[in-house]
Amino acid sequence: MVKVGIIGASGYAGAELYRLLLNHPHVEIVAISSQSYEGKMISHLYPSFYGVFDMIFTNDQEVIEKADMIFASLPHGLSEKYAKQCDEQGKKFIDLGADFRLDQEKDYQQWYQHDYQYPQLHEKQVYGLSEVNREQIKQASIIGNPGCYPTSITLGLYPLLKNHMHKDEKIIIDSKSGTTGAGKSLTEDTHFPKCNESFHPYKIASHRHTPEIEQELSKMAHQAVHVMFTPHLLPVNRGIISTIYVPLKDNVDFDDVYDIYQKTYQDEYFVRVLPKGQVADLKFVQYSNFCDISLHYDERYHQLIVVSTIDNMVKGAAGQAIQNMNLMYDLDEKEGLMMIPASF
């Protein structure tokens, strides 16, 4: 059994972690921590766990002491010190925050206004996009779990960029997320009277996921890739849907593109390339670890339109983290993640 601990377990991603891990046959949750709720039972915060998982929130050090596999679900700038402790003790660490996603410290400084506390740790980090970096993840001890928007976007573009079927032009990305993506702390935009019956863009041309998206897409294409990324807030609890517009090379046929996507993901259980004519819908991935992709062709402009949708709390956070843990421990990737989305 893998002894698992969760630091920052009172947030939405933390709650998703233990909701999913409770169904994992090879995991024992040994400790969970919360600074705000230390000493209180989980059901005090999330009544759905009453009588099912009555663990009490403890402190961060007890989590590291008891667990061999530590998940951290914390705001940026807080995870490095725990990663250092885990590294010194030979324990595995998966960060659901932003501290281990970017390769270059200058990007982290620019977009998150923080320096690396322990630069040597970042030489060990692996970007945890499971379907793309599988072999590196298996050997890693520190994983930077991808952001929710980047997960939907990178999986949506990977086959196209890997096979160099796109023109070397800016890619336009229009993404929408449910309100859980903003976390539990309220902002002006996430108060119910503001976000209910509303739909609006935010952080236009300035969202912190932009350098992560460009970094990973550039790796896939083996050349610099630039994006125009605009996120929007949907008045729903969970889910992300990204609509991506990509000019195709003149000699590229849409049928060839579709075939490449099918071949790339044919053995990937959690990525579903939908039949031609169907449109990916966030409703049919909610509460699951699936990424649904539909492909569409604008004949007038010879452009590919990719629609990629995930549950931001599962494939975009806790589910992908567990998928990465499974890889690190040579377990079946699907363990603990076999939830089927509801149909209505």
Beta-bridge mates of residue 62: none
Catalytic residue among 86, 148, 195, 291: 148
Give residue 118's Cα distance to chain centre.
Answer: 24
Give 324's Cβ-side CA count (13 Å radius): 35
Structure tokens at 37: 């709720």
Cα distance between residue 151 and residue 240, in whole Å: 10
The verdict on whether 195 is a catalytic residue reads no
Residue 8: partners with Cβ closer than 8 Å, 6 or more residues away: 14, 33, 34, 72, 73, 74, 78
Only one residue has tokens 């994983």, namely: 143
The number of C-alpha atoms within 13 Å of 129 and in the hemisphere containing its C-beta is 26
The H or E element spanning position 260 is helix 254-265
Give me the DSSP letters along 158-216.
Answer: HHHHHTT-B-SSPEEEEEEE-GGGG-SS--TTTSHHHHTT--EE-STTT-TTHHHHHHH
Greatest CA separation for the chain: 63
Active site residues: 148
